A and B are shown apart, each in its own frame.
Chain A
């Protein structure tokens, strides 16, 4: 099946993957904003000359799909064969293949002997791109309120630099340009590093060989996915999940999927999903595809299959235009991750009917974003973090505690880093939440709480999250995980914010971001006694909760 020399193939393909990994690592280490340098909310890839992703740094699953779609929107307007040295493509438009505005995709052509042999590509989540509120405008009712929209474009590095007109235009429209421009520079530099590595390979092995290896890498992923799909019985499977609400009314936003497996292909049809909404929970089509693909890949294939365009070939995804999962412009889309997670959950539940041993129960599976900002005499200060919660349990493992959700992979910012950088908030507690994981033969992962003391008057909090009301569902008798919450303690009183909300805080307020737990797998009655005892001894489950779910607790425990 392999047409190139197997050694060349093994060597060059691994080198391409290593190049993407190096790009990602360097972008993180030279970035400025907490969201990129500590949370690592960014991705990197090598593309072939046609814009197919051949190798990616495995950083954020949700960002891995749209590399190709954002590229294609650029190349359709500005053909690859007309590019010159110094050109780059840039695009963050959710309606042109992108995700949400903060994720800016940049593509740097790799020239060798005057022709383009591929692209170095990166995306990073930028802290602030203007719009109606610092970092996050949770009440936006259209995309214009969400920030600067960069349509599919081609610029040249001449337009960048401190006097470059494109850079000046961007700088004038964002609140913390030092950080954002610094992060964009880290993207450009990472692209150049990737370009350098691909050029070295092409010089050594020849452009044709590298081309052939790139093509084979796509075929390789495709073969492995098809092989995995053939092992799944043919059939049609239905499932659904829902977002709490749209932030205005209390109506759940229902997402439905019909999964059709036929031989070595799979079709995911989201017909029946609710209409698009007025707030930022709309999920651009590219994000829907990314979420659905990520679930299929995670459930059906082994972890080491490279995520590239070949992987997509046997998988089709459709969602009705105008629905939550394929919205019409100018819908706001900032919180598209919540719908993405319900896509993940729905596809997972459908697959649970046919490959129960490979799936996991619902986790907290929510992107919980709190953006604190403060306008002082020296300008805006913005602090924003992205949190997950507990993972769902599988047939054989408890869910992972306190970790970012499956479609994302952001690290936390060290408390000591926040202490250095921010004088308007201080973290006073960061702890696991006992009893938050759903009971089961395998227990759901625990959620956690981060508690902030507000140190100045007039700090603004913009929030989006989910699963404050609809808890994550267990599988095969496992119990639901604990929902999340946001509480503000002021003058001895505690009040709750909604999952999509905004508040102006006072000095002395204590804000608790409570991220929920994952659900259990299998009936609690079948849980191993030693695990029941361990959970009580270590304080993961309280004695009372353990007695309720699993019966008597061993006396020696605790």
Chain B
């Protein structure tokens, strides 16, 4: 069975192909104007026989870039009469409270393309004003006929409770204008809060034609080359969907890149027996962190892109501007800071010698000795130490420190920024990071893992093999996943259990139908979460319900589960006497892979035994250097030590030691 994962990133397109025990890893430059070309090139460059691929999984930034660069579809937006301005009114608040020239996030539909139809549904789903089909007909005869639209997004008030009017408007449009892509808000986000739901619907409509065209083009090219396998696409939830599914709801592709990385990391670690993890993906411009609980990366129910809210299941990933290219600077109050601005891939850090004039985290490593010029990216990249030192000289002078000391300080601040991001996904969500192992990946993650772990009190670190291509691996390791949401307000009272069971059963049936519609066979595995709150609150706390025990689950048990979750998050609430309600359900349906593909050690290049002059945490010392490939499974290593391989460098601080396990993970533990 030949499986291939191709991940299109901003700078590079990564490939991981697996057949039996053989792994092909590849990296080619992306082709920003035509990402499918880069993806295709990656397969060719890796020598993968396209006509023999059984399973091809693809992740790309096409949807994300369409939004960020405003190159999506021309969208018409339809709202309930009186509310067509919802995309511009937004939530009436400002993100930056002292910015006098503040501008709201720019909507993806223009105001002249926003229309109204007469109707009103109430919060309980009752129809207060029937849909005036004449008002729809007027749109069909007028602006929709002449506007030159690619797509239509419909968001009617309270459609989450009763989508009948939305469905009817969509049907009327499709009947007259079958070429138009129509998105109903109730299909993409079945939750209350009209601005957030409208924003999600418009985003879906905006990226839909772009994704559909892109996938058609790529699939066409693959077919020409004889491709006959399954073709699936990564989603923001960390699961994959057949390309057919993505063409129905492309909004789920918006955050697929970071999701692939977290999923890959979670799957690799689970195989080695680590199910509770903090994953740290440190790349050139930013670091993405995620919490993995019992083998599954945690989901968030809301996020945003370019300031626009997205209400669709997405992995709870917090991104912080602390990557290798992040710029080290001093603000006008004299504080040393790192990021969020980055020197990017071009010009990149000063030590790349491509014209970078600003000190960066990578330059700091070169000065401090934790990146050795001759070993960086396996020696494929020329590193100019003098340029790194030159850009750090003014900082050293300003703080009265040596170059090494100021470089070390900058790295400690970058690490503290990452620690704070981890605290957001752990402590702030009521999880103690000390109960988790740290899994660093991306080019720079393993350099910082030791100190980050110490700051958090984490005692175990797992460094996977091929840490630089975990995202592409994640594509191969992802299950087929589909999520259903349903807003259904149920106050917890004796006797409401049948209603809860019925709601869950309905969602199960819908998810199962969705799988069969897109051609997936097998028995899905389900999980269900109730979004709950005390009556009167507005934000819900997710509470996982035992899906296998739904038949015997009582409201008392559900209430207890909720109070524990609320107390953990907010430190109040568990009185046992307050009224509690369920507001919505979220059901995940997953079709697990029969077998997880293997990824093992890269080709051995032999060990080295050298030392490097390192300054770290204010101490200067000669640090031993070895090649990662030289460490056999079972052999012990001990810090301080630099371990180099072709995609990353691992720094093991003093006090840490460990071994390579049977899956070529380096498992480090801190001496007590």
Residues on A lying within 8 angstroms of B by beta carbon are 1-2, 6-7, 9-11, 13-15, 18, 22, 25-26, 28-34, 37-38, 40, 58-61, 178-179, 182, 185-186, 188-189, 192-193, 220-221, 223-224, 227, 294, 297-299, 302-305, 358-360, 387-388, 391, 394, 396-397, 400-404, 406, 409-412, 414-417, 419-420, 427-432, 448, 451, 537-540
15 new A-B contacts, CB < 8 A, other than A415-B83, A415-B194, are A11-B413, A14-B420, A29-B538, A37-B537, A38-B538, A58-B98, A182-B534, A192-B571, A220-B335, A299-B100, A359-B100, A406-B100, A416-B160, A432-B85, A451-B82
Q: In the complex the two chains form, is B409's CB within 8 Å of A403's CB?
A: no
Q: In the complex the two chains form, is B111's CB within 8 Å of A539's CB?
A: yes
Contact of A227 among B157, B332, B337, B536 (CB under 8 A): B332
Asked whether A10 and B336 contact (CB < 8 A) given A30-B573, A416-B123, the answer is yes
Q: How far is the CB of A400 from chain B (nearest CB, A)?
A: 5
B552 within 8 A of A: no
In the complex, chain A residues whose CB is within 8 Å of the CB of B519: none
CA gap between A406 and B101 in the complex, in Å: 11
Q: In the complex the two chains form, is A22's CB within 8 Å of B428's CB?
A: yes
Contact of B91 among A227, A401, A411 (CB under 8 A): A411
CA gap between A2 and B336 in the complex, in Å: 11
Contact of A414 among B84, B192, B489, B572 (CB under 8 A): B192
B171 within 8 A of A: no
Q: In the complex the two chains form, is A391's CB within 8 Å of B102's CB?
A: yes
Q: How far is the CB of A173 from chain B (nearest CB, A)?
A: 20
Q: In the complex the two chains form, is A419's CB within 8 Å of B157's CB?
A: yes
Q: In the complex the two chains form, is A430's CB within 8 Å of B85's CB?
A: yes
Residue of A nearest to B401 (CB): A6
Q: In the complex the two chains form, is A186's CB within 8 Å of B572's CB?
A: yes
Q: 1/0 contact trace for B150-191 toward A, CB 8 Å?
A: 000000011010000000000000000000000000000000
Contact of B336 among A7, A38, A223, A358 (CB under 8 A): A7
Q: How far is the CB of A346 from chain B (nearest CB, A)?
A: 16
In the complex, chain B residues whose CB is within 8 Å of the CB of A419: 122-123, 157-158
Q: Closest 10 A-B residue pairs measured CB to CB?
A: A429-B82, A37-B538, A412-B92, A397-B101, A189-B572, A419-B123, A11-B416, A29-B539, A32-B536, A411-B93
B97 within 8 A of A: yes
| Secondary structure class of chain B's binding surface, majority of residues | loop
CA gap between A302 and B335 in the complex, in Å: 15
Q: How far is the CB of B567 from chain A (nearest CB, A)?
A: 10
Q: For chain B residues 523-554, which have a beta carbon within 8 Å of chain A? A: 534, 536-539
Among B88, B101, B123, the one with the most A-chain Cβ atoms within 10 Å of its Cβ is B101
Among B85, B104, B193, B428, the one with the most A-chain Cβ atoms within 10 Å of its Cβ is B85
Asked whether A430 and B157 contact (CB < 8 A) given A186-B572, A192-B571, A448-B89, the answer is no
Q: In the complex the two chains form, is B85's CB within 8 Å of A417's CB?
A: no
CA gap between A229 and B627 in the complex, in Å: 56
CA gap between A50 and B645 in the complex, in Å: 53
Among B194, B331, B536, the one with the most A-chain Cβ atoms within 10 Å of its Cβ is B536
CA gap between A223 and B569 in the complex, in Å: 37
In the complex, chain A residues whose CB is within 8 Å of the CB of B539: 28-30, 37
Among B399, B566, B570, the one with the most A-chain Cβ atoms within 10 Å of its Cβ is B570
CA gap between A33 and B82 in the complex, in Å: 26
Q: In the complex the two chains form, is A416's CB within 8 Å of B194's CB?
A: yes
Asked whether A6 and B88 contact (CB < 8 A) given A1-B334, A220-B334, A419-B157, the answer is no
In the complex, chain B residues whose CB is within 8 Å of the CB of A34: 538
Contact of A10 among B193, B335, B538 (CB under 8 A): B335
Q: In the complex the two chains form, is A32's CB within 8 Å of B537's CB?
A: yes
Among A29, A297, A298, A404, the one with the most B-chain Cβ atoms within 10 Å of its Cβ is A29
B96 within 8 A of A: yes
In the complex, chain B residues whose CB is within 8 Å of the CB of A9: 335
We find that the number of chain B residues with CB closer than 8 angstroms to chain A is 60
Q: 1/0 contact trace for B391-427 toward A, CB 8 Å?
A: 0000000010000000001001100110010010000
Q: For chain B residues 44-91, which have a beta carbon within 8 Å of chain A? A: 82-86, 88-89, 91
Contact of B333 among A33, A221, A396, A412 (CB under 8 A): A221
In the complex, chain B residues whose CB is within 8 Å of the CB of A60: 97
Residue of A nearest to B197 (CB): A416
CA gap between A540 and B489 in the complex, in Å: 39
B112 within 8 A of A: yes
Q: In the complex the two chains form, is B336's CB within 8 Å of A403's CB?
A: no
CA gap between A430 and B195 in the complex, in Å: 12
B622 within 8 A of A: no
B37 within 8 A of A: no
Q: In the complex the two chains form, is B193's CB within 8 Å of A417's CB?
A: yes
B99 within 8 A of A: yes
Q: In the complex the two chains form, is A403's CB within 8 Å of B412's CB?
A: no
Q: How far is the CB of A291 from chain B (nearest CB, A)?
A: 13
In the complex, chain A residues whose CB is within 8 Å of the CB of B536: 32-33, 178-179, 182
CA gap between A414 and B416 in the complex, in Å: 37
Asked whether A416 and B193 contact (CB < 8 A) given A31-B538, A224-B332, the answer is yes
In the complex, chain B residues whose CB is within 8 Å of the CB of A31: 537-538
Contact of B193 among A22, A28, A303, A414 (CB under 8 A): A414
In the complex, chain B residues whose CB is within 8 Å of the CB of A403: 92-94, 102, 104
Q: In the complex the two chains form, is B571's CB within 8 Å of A11's CB?
A: no
Asked whether A2 and B193 contact (CB < 8 A) given A400-B103, A429-B83, the answer is no
In the complex, chain B residues whose CB is within 8 Å of the CB of A302: 332
Q: In the complex the two chains form, is A539's CB within 8 Å of B537's CB?
A: no
CA gap between A388 and B157 in the complex, in Å: 23
Contact of B88 among A22, A303, A402 (CB under 8 A): A402
Q: In the complex the two chains form, is B94's CB within 8 Å of A404's CB?
A: yes
Q: In the complex the two chains form, is A186's CB within 8 Å of B98's CB?
A: no
Q: How far is the CB of B330 from chain A (nearest CB, A)?
A: 9
CA gap between A107 and B156 in the complex, in Å: 44
Residue of B nearest to A191 (CB): B571
Q: How far is the CB of B320 from chain A (nearest CB, A)?
A: 11
Contact of B92 among A10, A411, A417, A427 (CB under 8 A): A411
Contact of A417 among B89, B122, B538 (CB under 8 A): B538
Contact of B570 among A189, A304, A414, A431 (CB under 8 A): A189
Asked whether A397 and B103 contact (CB < 8 A) given A61-B97, A416-B158, A431-B84, the answer is yes
CA gap between A58 and B102 in the complex, in Å: 15
In the complex, chain B residues whose CB is within 8 Å of the CB of A409: 93-94, 97
CA gap between A123 and B258 in the complex, in Å: 37
B110 within 8 A of A: yes
CA gap between A415 and B91 in the complex, in Å: 11
Q: How far is the CB of B632 from chain A (nearest CB, A)?
A: 38
CA gap between A29 and B410 in the complex, in Å: 35
Q: In the complex the two chains form, is B102's CB within 8 Å of A400's CB?
A: yes
Residue of B nearest to A182 (CB): B536
Q: How far is the CB of A28 from chain B (nearest CB, A)?
A: 8
In the complex, chain A residues whose CB is within 8 Å of the CB of B413: 7, 10-11
CA gap between A6 and B399 in the complex, in Å: 8
CA gap between A302 and B538 in the complex, in Å: 34
Q: In the complex the two chains form, is A430's CB within 8 Å of B100's CB?
A: no
Q: How far is the CB of A344 from chain B (nearest CB, A)?
A: 11
CA gap between A391 and B332 in the complex, in Å: 29
Q: How far is the CB of B277 from chain A (nearest CB, A)?
A: 22
Q: In the complex the two chains form, is A396's CB within 8 Å of B101's CB?
A: yes
Asked whether A360 and B101 contact (CB < 8 A) given A404-B94, A430-B82, the answer is yes
Asked whether A404 and B93 contact (CB < 8 A) given A26-B570, A32-B537, A414-B193, the answer is yes
Residue of B nearest to A359 (CB): B100
Contact of A224 among B110, B333, B573 (CB under 8 A): B333
CA gap between A227 and B88 in the complex, in Å: 37
Q: In the complex the two chains form, is A538's CB within 8 Å of B112's CB?
A: yes
Residue of B nearest to A428 (CB): B82
Q: In the complex the two chains form, is B157's CB within 8 Å of A432's CB?
A: no
Asked whether A10 and B157 contact (CB < 8 A) given A189-B570, A409-B94, the answer is no
CA gap between A58 and B95 in the complex, in Å: 9
Q: In the complex the two chains form, is A186's CB within 8 Å of B92's CB?
A: no
Among B82, B97, B332, B409, the one with the most A-chain Cβ atoms within 10 Å of its Cβ is B97
Q: In the complex the two chains form, is A412's CB within 8 Å of B334's CB?
A: no
